[in-house]
Amino acid sequence: MGRVIHFEIHASDLERASRFYTEVFGWKIHKWEGPIEYYLVGTGEGDGIDGGILPRRGETPEIGAPVNAFVCTVGVASLEDAIAAVERAGGTIVVPKNEIPGIGWLCYANDTEGNIFGMLQPA
């Protein structure tokens, strides 16, 4: 069975995107010293996946445009606190907090680069 083992966030401004995800989720992000412009993203210890931030090849998606990518959802202890952190860091909530019975509370946001992601507070 194939398992997701890495994610990538496309960004027009890699440093701005790095600041956003560090402020919102506390991720550890640093520039890779390889042959291409790339930032490595550590999301924490234990289970989960890590990823990268790389230059976007093309225009930033318009707000409200159909999603044309995989959407990652990040587990959070408090959805209210996470929503506040997104807004403080310059992101926007695009689908408000909704209850998924038996699962928890979910919302979707746009980061500073126009990428959509989910946040889930487990029940």
Helix (H) or strand (E) holding 52, with range, is: strand 50-55
- Under the banding of pLDDT at 50, 70 and 90, the label for residue 3 is confident
Is the pTM value of this prediction over 0.85?
A: yes
Average pLDDT of the chain, as a whole number: 94
Q: What is the mean pLDDT of residues 40-50?
A: 91
State the architecture of 6-122 in CATH terms.
Roll (3.10)
57-67: pLDDT as tens digits? 998 888 888 88
**Structural domain spans, the chain:** 6-122
